[in-house]
Structure 1
Amino acid sequence: MIRSAGEQVDVTVTYLRMTARPGYPRPHVPVGPVTALIAAERPPLWYFLTLYDAVGRDYEWTDQHDASAEDVSAFLHDPAVTLYTLVRGGWPHGFFVLDGRAPGVVDLSYFGLVPEAIGRGLGTFLIQTAVHAAWDRPGCAAVTVNTNSLDHPRALPLYQKAGFAPVRRASFQRVLTRDRSLIDS
């Protein structure tokens, strides 16, 4: 079903948690072009928003555009927050952000691949790498993430396969900013 920009839709958010380091090993870098995972040091706002839009534009990622530039920059420059970029073949294929500002908890606050990288087997590599990076932080007792029904349909199964378990769900309504195809549940 095609839904138009400006239409109000129901959205379900699923909150997930992991309370022990998973048993799977650190993943190997996928075969193919030169691949690097780079942690950004005090990334400029434009860099984060470029990745954020490239990954999230089809999934209604708009919250960071509603925040002030100062607030988003303060988040990115907090020493407990790290943005990682997956670069493959010389260009960004995806990113994730780990937010360790809450004592004992590391939140995977953003995670995703650009459209051109989806379906190439990079999602499993990136989520497993993100999970291990979160657990490597001193004092980590839990890792959290959330997703919603506007995200990629494989997001929730990917998180669960990586070891996250749903702990609660919430529903709200939102106005679409772009035309999109939605699967009615």
Structure 2
Amino acid sequence: MSLIKAGTELPYRITYLEMLDGPNDPAPLLPEGVRLDHAIRPPAWYFLALYDAVGRAYEWQDKHREDPEVVRAFVQDPAVELWVASAQGWPQGFFQLDFRQAGTCDLAYFGMVPEAVGQGLGGKLLRTALAKGWAGEGVRRMTVNTCTLDHPRALDLYQRVGFRPMRTEDKTCILTRDRDPSLFPA
């Protein structure tokens, strides 16, 4: 298999989604041995370590391009919540809820580390994120975005839990790392 080389310009599509009604089902129990921790005022390096662990293969670079003080202010904002699912002593995945816009909870980040993908935790963690988002004061809608650089099943997963596409935007990026072409949807 040949890799797409770093430095290649690559087109991608962002899909912006929203959910106007909370889920009917309660959040599922996380698998035995999985602990969910709310990181209170975490240091920016902690968030960036999770961001890299999940997003490295998917070209998550935006937060590295921001001023470190802007990243710290975002991560430590009282209206932004960082939740980390851990098992066996290490993070399996995380989600971040952004309540800064009145009436809206944005699922700013969601993902699993590569070693935890396919283990049955991702869907349950996403439904837990939805339950926590909808439990926010005055929340009338949730939003999320994903793109064709993300995991190939991300868009389908968001739609299966109730998000509906609002719009798309086409962009290009220059790859910062070699990329496995199998990570692109067919």
Counterpart of 1:155?
Answer: 154
Shift of 1:2: 3.1
Gaps of 5+ in 1: none
Counterpart of 1:146?
Answer: 145
1:30-88 Cα offsets, whole Å, 9 max, x none, are 24xx2111111100111101100000000000111001110001001111000000011
Aligned sequence identity (%): 50
Moved over 4 A (4+): none
Do the aligned residues in 1 keep the contact of 2:148 with 2:185 (CA within 8 Å)? no
1:77-131 Cα offsets, whole Å, 9 max, x none, are 1110000000112110010100010110000000000000000011111100000
Is 1:75 matched up with 2:74?
yes
Question: Root-mean-square deviation (CA), in Å?
Answer: 1.2
Matched pairs, number? 183
Q: C-alpha distance in 1, partners of 2:175/2:149?
A: 10
Q: How does 1:18-37 map to 2 (within 5 A)?
A: 18-31=19-32, 34-37=33-36
Q: Which amino acid aligns with 2:179?
A: R
The alpha-carbon distance between structure 1 residues 96 and 184, as it changes in their structure 2 partners (threshold 3 A), is closer
Q: How does 1:33-182 map to 2 (within 5 A)?
A: 34-182=33-181
Gaps of 5+ in 2: none
SS at match of 1:4: coil
Taking structure 2 as the reference length, the TM-score comes to: 0.95
Q: C-alpha distance in 2, partners of 1:26/1:173?
A: 36
Do the aligned residues in 1 keep the contact of 2:152 with 2:185 (CA within 8 Å)? no
Q: C-alpha distance in 2, partners of 1:181/1:113?
A: 18
Q: Which amino acid aligns with 2:76?
A: H
